[in-house]
A and B are shown apart, each in its own frame.
Chain A
Amino acid sequence: MPILIQLEEAFEKHYPKPEFQEKLNMLLQDYAGRPTPLYNAKNFSKLIGCKVYLKREDLVCGGSHKLNNALGQALLTKEMGKTRMITETAAGQHGLATAMAGNVCGLETEVFMGVKDIKRQASNVKRIKLLGAKVTPVDIGMGVLKDAVSDTLRKWTACSTTTHYLMGSTVGPHPYPEIVASFQSVIGKEIKEQILKKEGKLPDTIVACGSGGSNALGAFRPFINKKDVRLIFVEGGGESLEADNSAAAFKIGKPGVLHGSIMQVLQDENGQIKPSRTRAAGLNYPGRGPEISNLVNSGRAKAVFAFDNLVFEAAKVMCRTEGLIPALETAHAIAYMINNKEEFDKSEVVILNYSGRGDKDLESIMRYFNES
């Protein structure tokens, strides 16, 4: 707890400072490659029957939106005078971003990863190791994301005076959800500027995938008070909504307490947290961060899901229409649009937060299509 108070104070002190903002913006621009384009995807638009823009977070160095937050927190780590960062990762994107940000800022990094995820995200594990970060396998529980988070929290309690826990999503104890959402909201700020330039108006709808909620909140944040902008959050449906086969916490979970916050979470009738299941490792956190939980439960955002098989098909559709290989996580948002065209009016301007590229999923995607 004292460490969280210290973190909150450091964030409140440094984040608003012009010097901090300048350092962060320089890194975001020159290292990460921001601003990312807002791409008018004409072929995909034709397929859906409305105007779709892709917010190209796949073009952020490293291949996903994760670096936005990692750079911010790495700078914060420096400001707090700490020398190490630890984190956990599922798809490996956040682990990779942490290793990158650590190197840029001269910080040692250690990444905890469930054994199951190490296997299915082998290419990212190689990248992380090549960058010099230590990858520590987590084999407790199910060997997936929630177990890696639990273990990183445990490790952190033993080294928090020298080490910062770089939380990768808008989850965990306060102030993490706020910090991550703030650093990711660069996505939404850019969207706003870009769409006003291109369309002269705000978008009608923003669609984003998620579990903890970092890319979605990053895109949604500047529009939360603009009630006319529809916000659609797509979670992992898994194989089916049957127990133990899904990651759709808004459909089959309920409010609970995990990793330091109250949020929508997959659990059994006794309050034991249930593992979530989806082919997209990055959507596999059993909880929805407190802010995204609140947006959905208050009706401001709509939570939907996409099943695994439709997600693979959607990835293919994106490849064939726009020549882009999406991450399986991102493919959830794509799948939802493809399978719910009637929800999108012809005159609508929709922004799909294209959160990551699919290189890491290449093998899974190829295997899926070879087998089926």
Chain B
Amino acid sequence: MSLEEKFKELQIKREGAHMPHVYYGDPHEEFSLTLLETLVKNGADILEFGIPFSDPTADGPTFQRVCDRALKNGITPSKCIEGIKKLRLKGIKNPIVVTTYYNIPYAMGVDNFLDRIKKAGAQAIIVPNVPVEEADVLLTEGKKSQIQPIFQIAPTTTEDRLKKITDIASGFLYVIGVEGVTGVRESLGDSTLKLVKRVRRHTDMPLLAGFGISTRQQAAAVITAGADGAIAGSVYARIYEKNLNKPEEALPKVASLVAEIKQGCKEGYIKQN
């Protein structure tokens, strides 16, 4: 299912989208596959599928630990791509957005990398360390492979750059509500809500808000402010990493949280309209 189809479906159902973010391979592949399945079964609309990188500069402490562990346990980009295939074989139809840092596709050859994730079953890619100014290769090769590069917008993004980004973006826009890195935050500042409103004035494209979102209320708030969905990541990792020997024991908790956040996405949508 393409991102467009997913957003259309959600519009008809009158729901906000939830995209959980998981780095694949932490603590091992088998768990990641069950985790992703659990997320889908209990409310995830789109999956953000992270390929671990040694120096994840846009990620906070939780995802740094996650990447570290996954790499120490032997995860590789090729195994991750296989993982996407396995999700498709399990019958998961939801759009999959790959997230990784630029050196991973660069080392494999950007064209080759995008081709491979496309063949495996992915729809889009987020590369947090590639700004729009440096995205030519990603855009050209993305077009060839039919992988949509997703761009991020932060509170510091100027109006000029916002226009540049909305002009070339496709799929959806990733709105980073806070200045900083990924991770759980107690409260969602005004900055997130303000930014969602500001971006909304520029474009009709779907907006997903992320960074610092970990509760039903926060998800509802960003959607009420005008976003089409909410992204949460570190909060799920924080649940299962409490017992890394038996991470599967955390799955019921993950399931209820994803359902709750999805509930927030629905509530936010109703309030918005």
Residues of A with Cβ closer than 8 Å to B? Answer: 1-3, 5, 140-141, 146-147, 150, 153-154, 157-161, 256-260, 262, 265, 267, 269-274
**Are B76 and A157 interface neighbours, CB within 8 A?**
no
Which interface residue of B54, B101, B181 has the most chain A CB atoms within 10 A? B54
Q: Does B77 contact A (CB under 8 A)?
A: yes
Choose one: A153, A157, A256; the contact of B103 (CB below 8 Å): A256
Are the CB atoms of A150 and B55 closer together than 8 Å? yes
Q: 26 A-B contacts, Cβ less than 8 Å apart? A: A1-B132, A1-B157, A1-B161, A2-B156, A140-B61, A140-B64, A140-B65, A141-B54, A150-B56, A153-B57, A154-B58, A154-B60, A154-B180, A154-B181, A157-B180, A158-B180, A256-B103, A258-B55, A265-B103, A270-B77, A270-B108, A271-B53, A271-B104, A271-B108, A272-B53, A273-B54
Q: Is B158 an interface residue (CB 8 A)?
A: yes
Q: Is the CB of A273 within 8 A of B55?
A: yes
Q: Are A260 and B55 in contact (CB under 8 A)?
A: no
Chain B minimum-CB-distance residue to A158:
B180
Q: Compute how far the CA of A2 lies from the CA of B160 in the bound complex, rounded to whole angstroms.
A: 10
Interface residues of B (CB under 8 A from A): 53-61, 64-65, 68, 71, 76-78, 101-108, 129, 131-133, 154, 156-158, 161, 178-181
> Is B158's CB under 8 angstroms from A2's CB?
yes
On chain A, the residues within 8 Å of B55 by CB distance are 141, 146-147, 150, 258-259, 273
User: Which chain B residues border A3 with CB–CB below 8 Å?
Assistant: 156
Q: How far is the CA of A161 from the CA of B180 in the complex (A)?
A: 12
In the bound complex, what is the Cα–Cα distance between A3 and B59 (angstroms)? 19
Asked if A269 meets B64 with Cβ closer than 8 Å, knowing A1-B131, A157-B180, A260-B129, the reply is no
Tell me which residues across on chain B come within 8 A of A140, comparing CB atoms. Answer: 61, 64-65, 68
B106 vs chain A, min Cβ distance (A): 5
With a cutoff of 8 Å between Cβ atoms, the chain B residues found around residue A273 in the complex are 54-55, 103
- Chain A residues whose CB sits within 8 angstroms of the CB of B59 once the complex forms: 154
State A133–B54 Cα separation when bound (angstroms). 29
Smallest Cβ-Cβ distance to A141: which chain B residue: B68
Assembly CA distance A262 to B178 (angstroms): 27
CB pair B54 A257 closer than 8 Å:
no
- Using Cβ atoms and an 8 Å threshold, which residues of chain B touch A269? 107
B181 pairs with A272, CB closer than 8 A: no
| Residues of A close to B179: CB separation below 8 A | 157-161
Asked whether, in the complex, the Cβ of A256 is within 8 Å of the Cβ of B76, the reply is no
Interchain CB contact under 8 A, B104 and A270: yes
The reply to whether A257 and B181 contact each other, CB–CB distance below 8 Å, is no
Distance in Å: Cβ of B61 to nearest Cβ of chain A: 7
A2:B103 contact, CB within 8 angstroms: no
Whether B180 pairs with A272 at a CB distance below 8 angstroms is: no
B71: nearest chain-A partner, CB-CB: A272
Is there contact, CB below 8 Å, between B64 and A271? no
Q: Least Cβ distance of A169 to chain B in Å?
A: 16
Complex contacts, A141 vs chain B, CB 8 Å: 54-55, 64, 68
CA distance A150 to B68 in the complex (A): 14
Known A1-B157, A146-B55, A272-B71; further 10 A-B contacts with Cβ < 8 A: A2-B156, A2-B158, A5-B158, A140-B64, A154-B59, A154-B180, A159-B179, A161-B179, A267-B103, A273-B54
